[in-house]
Amino acid sequence: MKISFLIHNAYGIGGTISTTFNLAAALAERHEVEVVSVLRHRERPLLTPHPAVRLRALVDLRTEADHPQHRRPARVYPAAEYRHHQYSELTDQRIGEHLGALDADVVIGTRPGLNVHIARQAPQHVLRVGQEHLTLDNHSPRLRTALRRAYRRLDVITTVTEADADAYRRRMWLPGVHVEALPNSVPDPVLPPADGTARIVAAAGRLVPVKRYDLLIEAFAQVAAAHPDWQLRIYGKGEEQPRLRELVERLGLWNNVFLMGAATPMEAEWAKASIGAAASDFEPFGMTIVEAMRCGLPVVSTDCPYGPGEIIADGADGRLVPVGDRDALAAALLELVGDDERRRRMSRTALENSRRFAPGPVVAQAERLLANAAAARRAAGRSARPRRPAGSALTGRAHAARDAARTAASGVLRALRKGRR
């Protein structure tokens, strides 16, 4: 099977990129896999793809940023999508040409705007999959309307949580489209797991307001007061860094809280710690939570929508606390900091429970999902139906239902006319 991923910019850094590279690498063990990046802005990607995965780009911003077509706004890529300003008439053209010439069996989009391109422009013979790495609730009403129209032409939509899959099934009305949760995977660790002896709590991610590192630092102030030999290490970069540094200084935590900057990969840093922490207000999945658990860390996290509650078993391999509750977060951290045996027991459980996010189980689910979707297409005869023009919101099934309704209506009218005579 040949599988083609379509991604925004594979040369940057972020959860979607790492997740796509992880899944592509695992699939490449048994399939031909490529990752097609719409944009490129550097010579080499920051994250290294598997040697068997082909990586190529459609628009190279190093030489084409001033291309006349790149100065005109995109028309296919939905205007309500967050990254619309980075797309253009040029990206519309290049994506359309790429999809029109696609020789893959499966094409997988990795964000809503790209899923729309695939729904409207991928050849009929290709299995069309749209991945959702955020959540339906995260999208504006205007974007949800655009997605509802386009997504009816997809074969499969995958979400990263069961809660979001349920939201798509209940609220989007996508007849004939299979919706299923497919969690992100994390490669098997190379280093030995954490042994639970280090007096370090670790957190990682973009330093942005939604991650609430300010709440985590304030909660850790209570930990440092009771256990001054413990440290909080925060890995990442972003707009919140100056404000967080000022907060550390204001609380007098310069000997306990450290902003470590970005670290790639994070495995060696997780292995140095004994507890993972996350304080987000919103988390579509929780990639860093899984990464920490796969390295043997119990994780204390806010129970925010949607991911943490589907990853952490509260009291077994970590703790879940109410969103925004600084004191509850501090209390949960203190539970594990102050009880070595409980912390080590939870560490072992975290290691065991997180194996369900290893590439093996996730790829097996992905392969089953793709095989079932392909079989459903064959059974429905969808590949034999003529393709509607781009922009049509009706699926083959919807057209058949419409034609049947028209036939039935015609029969009713004939009967009425006959009765009048």
In the prediction, which pLDDT does 378 show?
Answer: 83
Distance (Å, whole) CA 76 – CA 91: 9
In a 3-state reduction of DSSP, which class is residue 190? coil
Structure tokens at 299: 């994780």
In the prediction, which pLDDT does 410 show?
Answer: 36
In the prediction, which pLDDT does 164 show?
Answer: 96
Query: Looking at the structure, do residues 243 and 332 belong to the same domain, yes or no?
Result: yes
Q: Which amino acid is at 97?
A: E
The CA–CA distances, whole Å, from 66 to 62, 71, 88 equal 9, 7, 11
**DSSP result, 96-139:** HHHHHT---SEEEE-SHHHHHHHHHHS-TTSEEEEE-SS-GGGS
In the prediction, which pLDDT does 264 show?
Answer: 81
Could you list the residue range(s) of the whole structural domain that residue 94 is in?
A: 2-185+361-384
C-alpha distance across the termini of the chain, in Å: 62
Query: Looking at the structure, do residues 181 and 205 belong to the same domain, yes or no?
Result: no
In the prediction, which pLDDT does 384 show?
Answer: 47
* Each residue's pLDDT expressed in tens, for the chain with a length of 421 residues: 999 999 999 999 888 998 999 999 999 999 999 999 999 999 999 888 999 999 999 999 999 999 999 999 999 999 999 999 999 999 999 999 999 999 999 999 999 999 999 999 999 999 999 999 999 999 999 999 999 999 999 999 999 999 999 999 999 999 999 999 999 999 899 999 999 999 999 999 999 999 999 999 999 999 999 999 999 999 999 999 999 999 999 999 999 999 999 998 899 999 999 999 999 999 999 999 999 999 999 999 999 999 999 999 999 999 999 999 999 999 999 999 999 999 999 999 999 999 999 999 999 999 999 999 989 888 877 444 444 444 333 334 444 443 443 333 333 333 333 333 3
* Dihedral class, residue 122 (left if φ above 0, else alpha if ψ from -120 to 50, else beta): beta
Q: CB of 28 within 8 A of CB of 51?
A: no
Residue 414 lies in a domain: no
Query: Looking at the structure, do residues 47 and 87 belong to the same domain, yes or no?
Result: yes
The CA–CA distances, whole Å, from 46 to 26, 293, 370 equal 19, 24, 29
Domain-ending residue, one of 356, 375, 410: 356
Q: Which residues of 305-339 are buried (b: 16+ CB within 10 A; e: fewer)?
A: bbbbbbbbeeeebbbbbebebbebbbbbbbbbbee
Query: Looking at the structure, do residues 137 and 106 belong to the same domain, yes or no?
Result: yes
Query: Looking at the structure, do residues 174 and 211 belong to the same domain, yes or no?
Result: no
Q: Which residue bears the tokens 């955020």?
A: 134
Query: Looking at the structure, do residues 337 and 371 belong to the same domain, yes or no?
Result: no
242 Cβ contact list (under 8 Å, min separation 6):
none
Query: Looking at the structure, do residues 298 and 153 belong to the same domain, yes or no?
Result: no
Query: Looking at the structure, do residues 337 and 367 belong to the same domain, yes or no?
Result: no
- Total domains in the chain come to 2
Query: Looking at the structure, do residues 297 and 275 belong to the same domain, yes or no?
Result: yes
Residue 390 lies in a domain: no
Residue 400 lies in a domain: no
* Dihedral class, residue 394 (left if φ above 0, else alpha if ψ from -120 to 50, else beta): beta
Phi first, then psi: give them for residue 181, nearest 5 degrees. -80, 130
Residue 37 lies in a domain: yes
In the prediction, which pLDDT does 380 show?
Answer: 77
Q: Which CATH number goes with the domain that contains 208?
A: 3.40.50.2000
Residue 149 lies in a domain: yes
Residue 181 lies in a domain: yes
**In 3D, which of 236, 238, 278, 230 has the Cα closest to residue 257?**
230
> Maximum Cα–Cα distance for the chain, whole Å?
97
Residue 203, beta-bridge partner list: 234
Query: Looking at the structure, do residues 319 and 339 belong to the same domain, yes or no?
Result: yes
Query: Looking at the structure, do residues 55 and 105 belong to the same domain, yes or no?
Result: yes
Residue 308 lies in a domain: yes
The CA–CA distances, whole Å, from 223 to 53, 256, 292 equal 45, 10, 20
Element (H, E) at 141: helix 141-150
Q: CB of 7 within 8 A of CB of 45?
A: no
Query: Looking at the structure, do residues 265 and 305 belong to the same domain, yes or no?
Result: yes
In the prediction, which pLDDT does 379 show?
Answer: 82
9 Cβ contact list (under 8 Å, min separation 6):
17, 37, 38, 39, 40, 41
The CA–CA distances, whole Å, from 393 to 93, 116, 141, 305, 389 equal 21, 11, 17, 30, 10
Residue 389 lies in a domain: no
